Structure 1
Amino acid sequence: MPDTHIRTALPDDEEALGRIDRATWSTLHAVQPAPRPPHPPFFSERFGPHAHLVAVTHGEVVGYIRLGFPTSLLANAHVRQILGFAVAEGVRGKGVGRRLVRAAVDEARRQGARRITLRVLGHNTPARTLYESEGFVVEGVLPGEFLLDGVYVDDVLMGRVL
């Protein structure tokens, strides 16, 4: 979308991000139960605004991607991991998700990372297709790792070199 820009999240984005997170919840990508009131804050001590890139269209936050470390180990501090990703229904299919993924790759590079990884559910074809088109490859599969709606679903590990 031409009127969309990507920036680091601000504390004031919390309400909008929480709304997007709740509105987009689906077993296509979520392994936690559906969110119910009272809703916890979107930002946490571990993942504050600084850990999120947001897509803004016409002044409205329409998506986010969360970037962090896969572990607290110094031995893999050169790796960043996409730890959350959502795009509002109304702007899906318009390139917002792709721009967020590219921004996360650029940010990981800026931070000095050498690799970026993620985990995606095996049945989430739209996300897997996007990641593959952006250079991510399957690096491992945990077969039947999650039981979602009575179906065992694979946890797919993907990554790419920066």
Structure 2
Amino acid sequence: MPETRIRTAVPADESALGELDRSTWSPLHAVQPAPEPPYRPFFDERHRPEEYLVAEHAGEVVGYLRLAAATPLACNRHVRQIQGLAVAESVRGRGVARALLRAAMAEARRQGARRITLRVLGHNAPARALYASEGFAVEGVLPGEFLLAGAYVDDVLMGRSLGDLTR
């Protein structure tokens, strides 16, 4: 079985990433409505290719993770934030999300970050378990922050130091 390769996105990934993003939309992790045509571009001035790590399996784009500055503030420059993670259904359970997560932590550290954070919906137990297994801890909860499909859902803030990348 071919190995999954993680790389930085390039503009030519636009179509594949847009399709992956639409095909993986789920109320388990999305706070925006399901995408409908006409579709917005995947990349724009606020979502640049260099902020994305792409997972390829057998030459096909099967996942992505967006790693960006947590805020534009200079005093917060040492923090990176995961602002999106998607994996194609066809490769779920094969370690693609974990590989993307580990690559993001390594890339954040390479960029000089000391911390990495993310936000995850409270009802997304699989994602929360993955993040916890990689050393992320719950650092805050915004109870009932989102009203999704008639139910209030918590926004869970998680983070970890990048000082110990052995996990």
Q: TM-score, normalised by structure 1?
A: 0.98
- Post-superposition shift, 1:2? 4.8
Q: Structure 1 residue 153: deviation in Å?
A: 0.2
After TM superposition, the runs of 4+ consecutive aligned structure 1 residues lying more than 4 A away are none
Residues 58-88 of structure 1 deviation map (CA, whole Å, 9 limit, x = unaligned):
1100000000011111110100000011000
**Contact residue 143 and residue 153 of structure 2 kept, 8 A:** yes
Q: Which amino acid aligns with 2:36?
A: R
Deviation at 1:50, TM superposition (A): 0.2
2-structure distance, mates of 1:81, 1:2: 30
Paired residues in the alignment total: 162
Give deviations 1:33-73, integer Å, cap 9, x for gaps. 11000001001112211000000011100000000011111
1:51 corresponding residue in structure 2: 51
Q: Output the CA distance in 1 between the equivalents of 2:2 and 2:136.
A: 25
Identity of aligned residues (%): 72
The separation in 2 between residues aligned to 1:129 and 1:151, in whole angstroms, is 22
**Could you say if the C-alpha distance between residues 102 and 2 of structure 1 is closer, same or farther in structure 2, counting changes exceeding 3 Å?**
farther
Partner Cα distance (1:60, 1:14) in 2: 13
**TM-score, length-scaled by structure 2:** 0.95
Deviations for 1:109-154, whole angstroms, at most 9, x for unmatched residues?
0000000000000000000000000000000000000000101000
Does the 8 Å contact 2:118/2:157 carry over to 1? yes
CA contact (8 A) 2:140 2:158 kept: yes
CA RMSD of aligned residues (A): 0.8
Which consecutive unaligned segments of at least 5 residues does structure 1 have? none
Match of 2:137 in 1: 137
- Structure 2 residue ranges without an equivalent (≥5): 163-167
Partner of 1:92: 92
The separation in 1 between residues aligned to 2:21 and 2:144, in whole angstroms, is: 25
